[in-house]
Copies of this chain bind each other. A is one copy, B any other.
Amino acid sequence: MSLSIESVNKNFGGWTKHYSHHSETLNCDMRFAIYLPPQTAKGQKVPVVYFLSGLTCTDENFMQKAGAQRVAAELGVAIVACDTSPRGTDVADADTYDLGKGAGFYVNAAQAPWNRHYQMYDYVLNELPQLIEAMFPVTDQRSIFGHSMGGHGALVLALHNPERYKSVSAFSPISNPTNCPWGQKAFAAYLGEDRKTWAEYDASLLMRKALGAVPALVDQGDADDFLEEQLKPQTLEAAAKESGYPLTFHQREGYDHSYYFISSFIEEHLRFHADHLHP
């Protein structure tokens, strides 16, 4: 395991840092960001909340725009934000924003040309936390959250791996990807036509089976342009009701799909995670 540091900025008494490393899982070099709160300077190990970004984002958007570091510094949690796909000149891509680079959908691709690099599910579940826990002053207590495509990723990872995450939350998640254009396009490309595999990556279908019971929080703005066609949080809510899953759902009047929405409620999400990480 080796890391190259790309940048360090002091921030709310802690440090926002970007690193690059070679990923064995993704078969390419990757970047990620980590916020280390001030408590780590005093030798304290802190739990980690992983953030998964949405379409077109990199490791930078969340750290620059969400306003999360202020709250993480107060609560004594680290935040890790990874990239949204494998990267590099030999990585397959498509000419649209919603497939290929910047659009890995946090799945393990099963067919060519995608399967050579697009293994984001395994990267986020295994390689990234192993690296983080080996190289930084953190505990093995983890929570996970994300936005849009990353909200889908966070929910699916937590639903399949309840032993790995204390809590999960999402802003405007793609809640039922087997039933919306973004999800169908990505799953057809990455997974092929076998719909059984698709179901393993659909939070609404998984929540209906009450897989695991990682406490979940979802926020959705009602002025979000993608709400009806792509996000479908009502399907997730209905699934939770059917199975009795511990999901708290907030519809937020007038809020859209942007980081202005995320920043408005980031404190509530981080407090939710901290309550489960520091019980």
Interface residues, chain A, CB within 8 Å of chain B?
9-13, 16, 64-65, 67, 69-70, 221, 223, 254-256, 258-261, 263-264
Which of A69, A258, A260 has the most chain B CB atoms closer than 10 A to its own CB?
A: A260
The 3 closest A-B pairs by CB, nearest first: A9-B260, A11-B260, A10-B254
11 other A-B residue contacts (CB within 8 Å) besides A9-B256, A69-B263: A10-B221, A10-B261, A10-B264, A11-B261, A11-B263, A12-B264, A13-B264, A64-B64, A64-B259, A65-B65, A67-B263
Do residues B255 and A10 form an inter-chain contact, with CB atoms below 8 A? yes
Do residues A223 and B67 form an inter-chain contact, with CB atoms below 8 A? no
- Some 21 contacts from A to B, beta carbons below 8 A apart, are A9-B258, A9-B261, A10-B221, A10-B223, A10-B254, A10-B256, A10-B260, A11-B260, A11-B263, A12-B264, A13-B264, A16-B260, A64-B64, A64-B65, A67-B67, A67-B70, A67-B263, A69-B260, A69-B263, A70-B263, A70-B264
Residues of B contacting A9 in the complex (Cβ-Cβ under 8 angstroms): 256, 258, 260-261
Residues of B contacting A12 in the complex (Cβ-Cβ under 8 angstroms): 263-264
User: Which chain B residue has the least Cβ–Cβ distance from A61?
Assistant: B64
Residues of B contacting A259 in the complex (Cβ-Cβ under 8 angstroms): 64
